[in-house]
Amino acid sequence: MSKELMIERIEKAQKEIEAKREKIQQGKFRQNYHFMAETGWINDPNGLIYFKGKYHFFYQYNPYSGFWDCMHWGHAVSEDMIHWEYLPLALAPSEVYDDHLKGGCFSGSAIEHDGKLFLIYTGTCNNGNGFEQAQCIAYSEDGIHFEKYEGNPVITAPEGVPTDLFRDPKVWKHDDTYYVVCGASQNGFAQARLYKSTDMFHWEFVNVLAESRGEWGYMWECPDIFALDGHRILAVCPQGVPSEAEQYQNIYQSGYFIETEETRTVDASFKGTKETRTVDASFIEWDMGFDFYAPQTFETPAGRRILIGWAGVPDAEYSSNPTNEGWQHSLTVPRELRYHNGKIYQLPIRELGQLRKKEILPEKESYVLDNGCGELIFDGIAASSSAAICVQIGTGCSLSYEKGLVTLQFTDDSGAGRGKRVARCEAVHKIQILMDVSILEIYINDGEIVMTSRIFFPEKDATVRFLGQAEMIQAWQL
């Protein structure tokens, strides 16, 4: 093991962050209340957990540039999921199983075990046999300084599973047993593979928890299993699903399956059996916008199920922000989940309300958001499948509803190459919009439909105009 090497590389990364932090934070498109890395590139949220009185966020991180490269784990803590304190990096590549320029410490999750904070992550390397991915353990007494397990890796790809398609372990505990679900591929079909352990170090394969029959792609990234309001959910990010007119519009998708008595997508006790189940066709996308991927959920001490996603998409054809600012990407605001009408609704956590400053009054039916940062709610909208409405955002972005379709569209450079995304909806009665300098989150009908997109206004402030009828309109500076 190279414990000293990991410490050395974390220290090197921290020096890089210190040297660039002040300049990068002056960037034109830096956001105010969405979580961003201090410098460099961020993608998947990892290891979301409440531990010893604080919420911990870990995240995929390259501190050295605004591009994807050798992956580290960034780390921050919060008491309210709104205000964050950055901590030293939790993980850096240092071992034969996770030390490669185009590999590193890939995504994973966190859990408390024996009073310690455990991380399980995908180590990715290339030692001459192509890229190899395996699941590894690190742990910490104080929740800040981590040590990699000397017996890593603890789970390796079995025969028939390509070694470069086996990643993103999500851990949970049921009774006295720990379980991990990993994304994988076998014979060109996506899988969620289940493992169990009693000590977090020694793992036993249980079964293929669920698999695609081909219609849901060749690989499932970032699998997640949880219960919500009595329903069992399997969330995955499929790769290799063809786009359709109103579905799967991004290059890769994020969504979930709901267990039913007919499909038994997820075992009733989460313990798994020797039976392999195929999933049914009721795959529901989390977010219908341009920029959403790799979400992870966790449960708060009060039992709220919270989801956070990466406000980006791998291999997208459009831009995320000018990389000459030295950073790229952010996470969505934390969203609370609830089950309603056969699907999951998402809403910004209520803690976000503490950011509301002054109420914005309309100016000639328009709302001006200083620095492009604010919240708007249009409620009691008179819109059905036969009635049209439109929200104009800046000069070249619009959200419209007509003939049963919600459309988010860019017609100028504020979309940085983004065009149009649509979502089918029987009626629209409420729209909530969060704007934060260079990101836009739209919640329709209290989270029945969500659309996330980056946006780059040419001017400092942003003007929003509502064309339609609503019983109540509220706007706040954030």
- Closest C-alpha among 123, 55, 118 to residue 306: 55
Active site residue 44: yes
Which of the residues 44, 224, 267, 436 is marked catalytic?
Answer: 44
Q: Which residue(s) pair with 464 in the sheet?
A: 367, 393
Question: Do 464 and 376 meet the contact criterion of CB atoms below 8 Å apart?
Answer: yes
Q: What is the DSSP pairing of strand 40-51 with strand 327-328?
A: parallel
Catalytic residues: 44
